[in-house]
Copies of this chain bind each other. A is one copy, B any other.
Amino acid sequence: MQTIRYGGDYNPEQWPEEIWREDVRLMREAGVNLVSLGVFNWGIIEPAPGEYDWSGLDEVVELLHGNGIGVNLGTPTSSPPAWLRKAHPEIRLVDAEGRTLAGGSRHGVCPSSPAYRDACESIVEQLARRYGTHPAVELWHVHNEYGWANVECYCEASTAAFQTWLAARYGDVDRLNDAWGTAFWGLVYRSFDQIEAPAVAPPGVNPALQLDWKRFSNDEHIANYRLQRDVIARHSPAPATTNFMIPNCEGMDYWRWAGTVDVVANNHYLIAEREDHQIELSMSADLTRAVAGGPWMVMEHSTSAVNWQPRNIAKTPGELRRNSLAHVARGADGLMFFQWRASRAGAEKFHSAMVPHGGTDTAVWRDVAALGNDLKALSSVVGSEVEADVAILWDWESWWALELEWRPSVDLRYRERVEAYYAALWRQHVTVDFAHPESDLSGYRLVVAPSSYVLTDAASKNLRGYVENGGHLVVSYFSGIVDEHDTVHPGAHPGALRETLGLWIEEFHPLHEGEALGLEAASGSGLGGVWAGRIWSEHVRLDGAQAVARFAAGPDEGRPALTRHDLGRGTAWYAATALDGPNGLNDLLATALDKAGVERPQGIPDNVEVVRRGAHRFVINHTGQDVQVPGSGVDALDGTVFDGRVTVAAGEVVILADA
């Protein structure tokens, strides 16, 4: 049986050697069994082109190995050395404004640059040869945070690569013209080399061009990853990965990345100023699990505050532990922090660490050490699966397309609705999976489509089949509007869902800023109460569906606001406005969950998180009071036996192993 991987980024090059001995001693004290090494050391290991200095890295690898600590070996390509920028100025990233980015930081290079690609290949080849079979190397950490600051480059090399990418995708330019609808405004192309990167331009740049540009930019980063991974694979048996940033890196389509890595690893940092950031963490973990298709690992999170948010609020007592175990509950088999020891210099010196500036007589260090030792007792969790009856559809392409300029309302934002539905389910203690709209949904009792603006014909058929075969589907407004080229499906909206939902939209009626409309449940609908809708209203025309609530005011007063369509053996619900919890959205979801037969844990207080993973049940108390929840089993950490009721202290976590 494997143990949970525990550790963090280790940057010994910032410290004198005497500190290295102290570090390793403390690592052992804290149960650290894996550290990420060399993520940013290109300028150190290759001080000049083709000259290598391995002395420091060799020594640290041996020191760690000698102490039983594994190495997650980085390739340093996210921070190319100054000499490379000087020798090849053409590798510098050009942004959408046409500005060539300066050095002094990391990332500012063009992912399509041949000189940069060649230099990456060369340094990775050196690393893989030297350390590829070293027994300490358990994992390869390729690059760092693909798509963080250089998601798109608009230099000439990028434009040429885009043209090549388009030629490969469309074959001939008339297919591209058809797909992109270039007849609009006469934006027709006669050859691929007439196509420009969508840098700053007058408003109204062809949205299909913009969408393909985003696909291309994502693919260029994948290509760089694959290049490095393939070099490594020639020299090393260790698995390779890179650190994703789900769901806070809009530019990377991780559905496309998923198959390229040997293990999915994710960076997640709390959005510290949000009141409900524990929900956003859960969403991140669930989506990461979906991308991984099973267990995964946290490659970076923080022991406390970060340094790059407007107000870097520190974690509250117990939060490091709650966050960490929430990740484990939702599928993580590894927990790594950025970083081991707080830096004294550089851009991130105010980022928290496992060893803070204040040293080991600190709550952070005590929490780090305690967690490491608890994790040893949780080895039986490793590899086990999280089960969910409910899936939420997620698609980076919908995110991209929905938020292009010139949509019906700026209040339409992809994550706004996804997070609203996710949070409502979280507050009802329902564990969810995320799923791509074209994936097999037959295992779910309920599927929620909150912002599925783009639905291909295949996705449209998939959803219809899901419902006809007994599935329950909840759809929010502005879903199923366009295909993969941002082209409106033929006929009335929502073209990809008209038949499934049993209705069509005569006209969109986006609301004024801050406007809220009352809704009233239709009699006999099984719904009750009075709710408010925001952001959106529309003129729904029923064509098979029935209204279960109507607008009580606004442009669609008296018209359907929520509908239900029984189709085949299933049911499709539709919300034509932005319902919010704790009223309308909770009621709608509760009704749909009931109808779908989704069982929810009972007797759980608000803001207590309960997740089952394999034979374990995690109970995380986010409140400031001790709580009791129903449950039986054995406390996985201290062996306490529970029979019927479990007490979880304020801010604490209990992990119940099935008896």
Contacts and interface: CB of A to CB of B under 8 A. Distances in A.
Nearest to A86: B194
Given A11-B183, A201-B105, A206-B105, A492 B358 contact: yes
B314 A555 contact: yes
Contacts of A345: 180-181, 183-184, 207-208, 485-488
Contacts of A357: 488, 491-493
Interface stretch (A61-69, A93-101, A615-623): A93-101
Q: Which of A106, A405, A491 has the most CB of B within 10 A?
A: A106
Contacts of A172: none
Interface string A397-409: 0000000011111
A474 B95 CA distance: 47
A562 to B, nearest CB: 20
B346 A181 contact: yes
Contact of A97 (B99, B196, B310, B346): B99
Interface in A205-237: 205-210
Interface string A34-62: 00000011111001100000000000000
Contacts of A190: 47-48, 82-83
Contacts of A408: 305, 307, 311-312, 350
A107 interface: yes
Interface residues of A, number: 120
Contacts of A311: 408-411, 510-513
Contacts of A41: 186
A44 B104 contact: no
A508 B273 contact: no
A490 interface: yes
A108 interface: yes
A81 interface: yes
Nearest to A177: B43
A194 B88 CA distance: 12
Contacts of A344: 181, 487-488, 490
A314 B40 CA distance: 53
18 contacts: A14-B181, A14-B183, A40-B184, A43-B186, A43-B187, A82-B188, A103-B201, A104-B209, A305-B408, A307-B406, A311-B510, A311-B512, A313-B511, A314-B507, A314-B508, A342-B488, A349-B486, A358-B507
Given A310-B409, A357-B492, 5 more contacts: A103-B196, A104-B196, A207-B346, A307-B407, A350-B406
